[in-house]
């Protein structure tokens, strides 16, 4: 079986096309969690951490809707004709998306599927606020 690629990214860091639309990572499934899950960066004790940190992962995991999303991603990834690549995006790609990818990868590996992880923006400084155009 082909390894599953899990990609985290931040919408605010994506390049844009000629019409100003974000150029999304190439994936079979893209999850936009900006409006779906509360931003853990609002919790002051995780502001300067990223989704690799257990504290951030705990905050993300305990956000309403996160466990259901992870369960759905894992079940989808294990289907015989399931996706080869799943991309998860939040505002900056540092907290929610990174944490969700790490948590999902752990669960998928525990179920026997090989996983490759790519974090596009987790290393970048946190985004202080979303800008609107």
Tens digits of per-residue pLDDT, 39-50?
A: 776 667 777 888
124 domain-assigned: no
Q: What span, in angstroms and rounded, lies between the C-alpha atoms of 19 and 83?
A: 28
Residue-level pLDDT at 4: 97
* Residue 132's pLDDT band (cuts 50, 70, 90): very low
- Please check whether residue 133 lies inside any domain of the structure: no
Task: Tell whether 132 is covered by a domain.
Answer: no
Local confidence band at 110 (pLDDT 50, 70, 90 cut-offs):
very high
* CA 108/CA 121 separation, integer angstroms: 22
Q: Would residue 97 count as lying in a domain?
A: yes
Residue that wins the pLDDT comparison between 129 and 125 = 125
**55 found inside a domain:** yes
**Distance between alpha carbon 115 and the CA centroid of its chain, in Å?**
14
Q: How many domains does the chain fold into?
A: 1
pLDDT per residue as tens digits for the range 48-99: 888 999 999 999 999 999 999 999 999 999 999 999 999 999 999 999 999 9
Cα–Cα distance measured from residue 75 to residue 63, given in angstroms and rounded to the nearest whole number: 20
- Domain-embedded: residue 96: yes
Residue 3's CB is within 10 A of a number of other CB atoms, namely 12
Domain that holds residue 60: 4-119
Beta-sheet strands, E only, within the chain: 4-10, 29-32, 85-90, 115-119
Report if residue 129 sits inside a domain. Answer: no
Looking at the domain assignment, is residue 131 inside a domain? no
Q: What is the pLDDT of residue 42?
A: 67
Q: 3-class DSSP state for residue 73?
A: helix
Instruction: For residue 10, list its beta bridge partners.
Output: 90
């Amino acid at each position: 079986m082909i390894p599953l690629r899990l990609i985290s990214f931040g919408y605010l860091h994506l390049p844009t096309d000629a019409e100003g639309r974000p150029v999304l990572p190439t994936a079979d499934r893209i999850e936009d969690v900006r409006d779906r899950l509360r931003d853990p960066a609002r919790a002051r004790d995780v502001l300067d951490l990223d989704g690799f940190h257990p504290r951030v992962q705990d905050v993300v995991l305990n956000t309403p809707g996160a466990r259901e999303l992870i369960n759905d991603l894992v079940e989808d990834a294990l289907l015989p004709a399931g996706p080869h690549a799943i991309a998860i995006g939040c505002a900056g790609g540092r907290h929610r998306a990174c944490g969700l990818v790490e948590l999902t990868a752990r669960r998928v590996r525990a179920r026997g599927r090989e996983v490759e992880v790519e974090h596009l923006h987790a290393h970048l400084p946190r985004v202080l606020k979303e800008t609107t155009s």
